[in-house]
Structures are given as C-alpha cells and as structure tokens.
Amino acid sequence: MSSSVSQQFRGAFTAITTPFTDDGSAIDFGALNEQIKFQAAGKVTGVVLAGTTGESPTLEAAEWRELVTRGTKMAHDAGILAVAGTGSNSTHHAVELQKFAAKAGADAALSVNPYYNKPVQEGLYAHFMEQADAAALPIILYNVPGRSGVALAPDTVGRLAKHPNIKAIKEATGSTDSAGEILIKAPNLALLSGDDSMTLPFASLGGVGVVSVVSNLIPARVVALCDAFLGNRWAEALKVHRELVPVCKAMFVETNPIPVKAAMKLLGRDNGVLRLPMTAASPATIKTLEGVLSTLRQPVAV
C-alpha cells in the first residue's frame, strides 16, 4: 500500500440498512441509532448512510436530508465515521447532495457511477470532477457496473485520483483485474471492496478494507478480517474469510437488501419493512438464511 493512501479509509465500513416503520411510511430513527451503536460496538471504522443497502432510491429528498443529518450525528456520538451516499445520475443533483453532506458534517461522500443514462468515460470523469469541486468533502468513488450499467475504467480512475478531494474507491466489479489495474493507475486511492466475498482477494492486491453488507449482522467478524490482513496476518485473514463465505453468498440469494433485512429480523433486530419495489424475502431465502445464521458466532451485544 502506498504511504500516501489516506489512513482514514481503512478497515470495515458498514453499508447500513435504513430501518423503516412497520408500514414503511417513515424512517425509524430510534432503530437506526441502535444499529449504529451495534456497529460501533463491533469496532467498524464507519457506516455508509443512504447507500444501496439503505434503499436510497426509495428515499424522498427530505428523508435523505434528515437521514444524513441525524445519522451523521449518531455515528459521531458513537465514535465512528459517517459516509453519506451522494450519488445521482444527474450531475447537478449529485453536486447539491455533495454540498448538503458537507454542511451536515459527514466525513465523506460515497458517489456511485451515474446509472441508466450510461455516460462515456469522459462524461464519468466530468461528473465526478464537478462533484469533487463542489465541496471540501472527501469522495469515495463507487464503481458498480452491475447496478449502474457502466464501469469506471482504470485510466479514468487514475485521472480522477489527481483531484485532492477524491480519496478512495469502492470497487464492486468483482474483478481482480480491474482492482489490480486501478491500484496501479491510482496508487494514492484507498481501494475498498464493494463485495464482501472479494475483500481478501482485493487486499492481496493492495486493497485496504470493505464497504460491507455482512457487517450489518456480524461487524466484529468483518473487522477481524480487515484487522488481520492490515496487520499482515494472512493465515488468520484466510481463516476468517472462509468462515464468512457462506454468509456473503447468502446475502445475495435475492437482490440486496432483501436478504440482509430478513437476516436481521431472524437475529431479533427487526428494522421494518422493505419499500417497494423491494419485497420481503421468499420462503426459500428465509430457509437459506436460517441455515447460515445458525452457524454464526454470536453477534457483538450493545
């Protein structure tokens, strides 16, 4: 890892779910506070608010602002970092979200590739540069072609990495080739895995952590994985990785966050319904989750 890589963006960041009331009409901020305390007890570096796992596409504008504002304060009160999801397929909108997140006191913004409109690489470059210029807030690029329909090419990441506000990348391509090339083209960026199962493979190339779905359930184990490889204890890291593989697979038997919300309910940490078009987990998924969860170590209690 390059010595110039930001030390702030290392370890486990939890892509936290957004708890809704039982009828789905509002965010349950009491439940969110308990979730954030649970994550802090597991020693994660930070939480990502209003990400994909947090059902950001279904949040109203006022809800997003309240979630970022109150969630940031909750995270800081718990002693961990708060990252706000500020991505949009409209550059103007992304800039506005970036400015708001900075004013709300977030520690960083997670900005996804513009989705659906599929810009070319020059469009992607211009989009993120506009956002990076908008406010003095660190940006974590979010490269997830499976969701957005377009990938950031390593050469484009290398160009973006020259901006002082672009500090990290969440690499969710599932490709060691892509991750490896990004680390060559942009050695100053902190590379975080965007897929739990790829955390250790990416770490072997120089990755420094993960934005995790699994850590909603067992934050301390995901932290243990990151601590092991960051501490150069590779045999220990491999052991934890193999322990986590079945859980990683189970989190994506249906579209995220359907399985993770179901799993949290099974663990006695119900966080409300999913908002349409996300639907409740199928009976087959519940059965799969019950089998996987029965093998987990007990989660860290708050």
Compute the C-alpha angle 226/227/228, nearest 5°: 90
Torsion of CA 114, 119, 123, 127, to 10 degrees: -10
pLDDT for the residue 302? 36
Predicted confidence pLDDT, tens digits, the chain (302 residues): 444 577 899 999 999 999 999 899 999 999 999 999 999 999 999 999 999 999 999 999 999 999 999 999 999 999 999 999 999 999 999 999 999 999 999 999 999 999 999 999 999 999 999 999 999 999 999 999 999 999 999 999 999 999 999 999 999 999 999 999 999 999 999 999 999 999 999 999 999 999 999 999 999 999 999 999 999 999 999 999 999 999 999 999 999 999 999 999 999 998 889 999 999 999 999 999 999 999 875 443 33
pLDDT for the residue 270? 84
pLDDT for the residue 4? 59
Phi, psi for residue 244 in degrees, rounded to 5: -85, -20
SS3 295: coil
- Contact indicator for 273, 23 with CB cutoff of 8 Å: yes
Compute the C-alpha angle 115/144/18, nearest 5°: 80
- Contact indicator for 38, 6 with CB cutoff of 8 Å: no
CA-CA distances (angstroms) from residue 196 to 152, 165, 243?
A: 20, 26, 12
Q: What is the CATH number of domain 11-241?
A: 3.20.20.70
Tell me which residue of 22, 14, 12 sits closest to 85, measured CA to CA. 14
Q: Return the domain boundaries, the chain.
A: 11-241
The DSSP string of 64-125 is: HHHHHHHHHHHHHHTTSEEEEE---SSHHHHHHHHHHHHHTT-SEEEEEPP-SS---HHHHH
CA 124 from centroid of its chain's CA atoms: 20
pLDDT for the residue 32? 98
Phi, psi for residue 166 in degrees, rounded to 5: -95, 110
* DSSP code, position 8: T
Tell me which residue of 293, 193, 279 sits closest to 249, measured CA to CA. 293
β-strands 108-112, 209-212 pairing: unpaired
Residue 251 burial class via C-beta count within 10 angstroms: exposed 0-12, middle 13-18, buried 19 and up: buried
Length of the chain: 302
β-strands 11-15, 209-212 pairing: parallel
Distance CA 40, CA 300 (A): 10
- 263-268 LR contacts (CB < 8 Å, sep 24+): 263/216, 263/217, 263/289, 263/292, 263/293, 264/17, 264/216, 264/217, 266/290, 266/293, 267/217, 267/293, 267/299
Phi, psi for residue 293 in degrees, rounded to 5: -65, -30
Copy the structure tokens of residue 203.
């770490």
Phi, psi for residue 33 in degrees, rounded to 5: -60, -40
Active-site amino acid positions: 142, 170
Distance CA 289, CA 265 (A): 11
